[in-house]
Amino acid sequence: MTAAGSSNGFGTTAWWGFSPALDLQATYLETSTEHLHMSQDGIPVLNILLVGSIDGRHVLKTMCQAHRWPRRKINFYVLENNLETLGRHLLFLSLALEPLEKMGLQEKSETFLELMGNTLLRSQTAAYLQEKSDLFIRYVTDPCFQEAHLPTLDLSALKFKERDQLEAIFRFWKNPDPQAFQIEQLWDLRLRQYLGTRYDSRRGVCDWDLTMKLHEHGAKVINSREFFRWRNTGVAFEMREASYDIPNKTLASGHLLRHKGEPMSARGYWGDIATGPFITFGTETEETSLLKTINGLPSKSAQEISLHNLTALFHELSYRSRYDPPTASDKDGDKGSLQGPDDPTTLDALNGPPSTEDIRVHFLPLNCLPQLHQKGRFQQLFNLIFFSCSMVHLLKPELHRVSAPKATLLIELTNFLPDLRKEQVSEFSSRVGNLVKATGFVPVETPSKEAFSLFQLGDPPEMAEPGL
């Protein structure tokens, strides 16, 4: 068990990451680019392995900001330890690729945040989930249909059993009965089990975890109001004056429990109840005005920053240009000649989904990493490899066999897990260093990315000459 998984607040099924979203093309080392293979049409190919990335945030940010870099074909290989997480990957990818004439930038961003981090949804969002679930069932049961309608995704590596289980998950998502997943009761049960005798003083516990743990590691934009709302109800993002009252079935997963000595599967909420979904998009931003402070306090909340960041990403995906947020006069209705993303004068140029001709997302079978090096197609393939803090136990010496020369290795640390003491966070980082050392990777200094450890594959050892 990893340090991340040993804490009750972490849960057994991760629904979001515990580090900010990254543009992986800005993260991997320049020396890795010297070893990119060329496609048949002469375009460099970047192969990325994501082990436990959970919420698709790195795929999304890298895909949306690909226009900022020299043209490359990017293959993402997604490896998770449960199928519900893969289902959410599909949901977020499909949402990102919705045509703007069907769903504007603001609606798309709000829907994304709701589905990612809320236990309860608006009726409009719940209807969207049911509609997409019906489509996803066809994707996993009809490969030709999926290839024709979502060619960015490759499901061919999944086993037939995994496809069948994904179909069952999507049928559950499609079920309109709110009693099928009583998330409010399940959340409160998890909270009571987590806090124990501290349940009645949960507001004080919440404030302590926020100020003494998350704020200390740089997440100061998360304010106490939004953090306590999430801790108490599981609703992280409330962006509309609307009722959030329909269970988010994408947060349901199975877990083996013992009943009268016999193992039995129970569906419930087994995810994070300590950190929250604010870290992924809500603590860092390129728009520095959002990070200003007033009397020492952040002027914007993690929700506002998350909404801006996602709007900017979806804008870049559709327009292939950086997002220019509207000014105060624009918001007051004086748009002048501004043509925004939802301006009807620009819709003619936006027909159809955003172009992702150079992006391919491959879903790999669950927990297949130990066998990956045995397959020829993966030998020395990956230029960049990411591991979440919950999956570092899969770091084995064989990793170098699937790594391209001078490959970059990125490890998520446990800084944003409130349950862990400082010495446990430090111990986890040391353990990561020891595990990585056996794989042939060497550490690289990353002073500005304290939520990650960065490594590069070293040169292979020189072979001794015969007879020496």
Please write the tens of the pLDDT for every residue from 343-367: 433 444 456 778 889 999 999 999 9
Q: Tell me which H or E stretch contains 138.
A: helix 123-141
Strand partners, 403: 382
| Model pLDDT for residues 301-360, shown as the tens digit of each residue | 999 999 999 999 999 999 999 998 876 555 544 433 334 444 433 444 456 778 889 999
On the question of pLDDT at 197 being above 90, the answer is yes
Instruction: Identify the pLDDT of residue 28.
Output: 77
* pLDDT for position 149: 95
Say whether pLDDT at 2 is over 50.
Answer: no
Residue 190: pLDDT above 60?
Answer: yes
pLDDT at 147 exceeding the cut of 80: yes
Within 196-248, strands assigned E span 246-247
157, 92, 55: which is closest to 369 by C-alpha? 157
Predicted local confidence at residue 32, as pLDDT: 72
Share of the chain above pLDDT 70, in %: 88
E-strand stretches of 96-188 = 120-121, 153-154
What pLDDT shows up at residue 316? 97
According to DSSP, the residues that pair with 298 across neighbouring strands are: 293
Instruction: Show me where the domains of the chain are located.
Output: 4-328+350-359
CA-nearest of 60, 69, 84, 79 to 28 is 69
> What pLDDT, on the 0 to 100 scale, is given for residue 375?
94
- Residue 403: band (very low, low, confident or very high) from pLDDT cuts 50, 70, 90: very high
Q: Where are the alpha helices (DSSP H) in 285-390?
A: 302-319, 328-331, 369-372
- Please choose, from the candidates 243, 241, 267, 198, the residue with its C-alpha nearest in 3D space to the C-alpha of residue 418: 198
Overall average pLDDT of the 186-209 stretch? 94
395 pLDDT higher than 90: yes
The pLDDT assigned to 333 comes to 45
- pLDDT of amino acid 259: 56
> Is pLDDT above 50 for 291?
yes
- Please give the pLDDT value at position 460: 67
Q: Say if residue 89's pLDDT is above 70.
A: yes
Query: Quick count: other Cβ atoms within 10 Å of Cβ 232?
Result: 14
222-250 average pLDDT score = 95
Q: What are phi and psi of 142, to 5 degrees?
A: -135, 90
CB contact at 8 A, 83 and 165: yes
What band does 35 get if pLDDT is binned at 50, 70 and 90? confident
Quick check: 407 and 456 in contact, CB under 8 A?
yes
Local confidence band at 410 (pLDDT 50, 70, 90 cut-offs): very high
Select from 73, 67, 117 the least CA-distant residue to 92.
117
What does the pLDDT average to over 150-178? Answer: 96
Mean pLDDT across the stretch 435-446? 90
Q: How confident is the model at residue 46 (pLDDT cuts 50, 70, 90)?
A: very high
Residue 67 phi/psi, 5° resolution? -65, -15
CB 248 within 8 A of CB 269: no
Q: Which residues pair with 51 in a beta bridge?
A: 79, 387
Strands 153-154 and 359-363: parallel
What the block records as the tokens of 377 is 């197609």
Rounded CA separation 211/185 (Å): 28
Here the tokens at position 351 are 């027909």
Q: What is the DSSP secondary structure assignment for residue 235, as one 8-state letter?
A: B
448, pLDDT greater than 70: no
Q: Of 319, 309, 304, 316, nearest to 287 (Cα)?
A: 309
CB-based contact 227:210 (threshold 8 Å): yes
Given a cut of 80, whether residue 25 has pLDDT beyond it is yes
Q: Decide: 362 and 75 in contact? Cβ < 8 Å.
A: yes
pLDDT band at 33 (very low <50, low <70, confident <90, very high): confident
Residue type, 181: F
- Closest to 79 (Cα-Cα) out of 394, 406, 356: 394
Mean per-residue pLDDT of the chain: 89
User: Is the separation of the CB atoms in 439 and 396 below 8 Å?
Assistant: yes
Residue position matching structure tokens 């704020």? 215
pLDDT (mean) for 403-428: 94
Residues 6+ apart with CB under 8 A from 210: 222, 224, 227
Report pLDDT for 152: 97
Say what the pLDDT of residue 458 is.
87
Would you tell me how many other CB atoms lie within 10 Å of the CB of residue 449?
A: 15
CB-based contact 92:55 (threshold 8 Å): yes
Phi, psi (deg, nearest 5) at residue 200: -70, -20
Half-sphere exposure of 32 (CA within 13 A, CB side): 26
- Of 133-142, 226-235, 417-426, which range is least confident? 417-426
Mean pLDDT over 48-68 rounds to 96
Q: How confident is the model at residue 447 (pLDDT cuts 50, 70, 90)?
A: low
Nearest in space to 167 (alpha carbons), one of 139, 134, 137? 137
In total, the chain counts a number of residues equal to 468
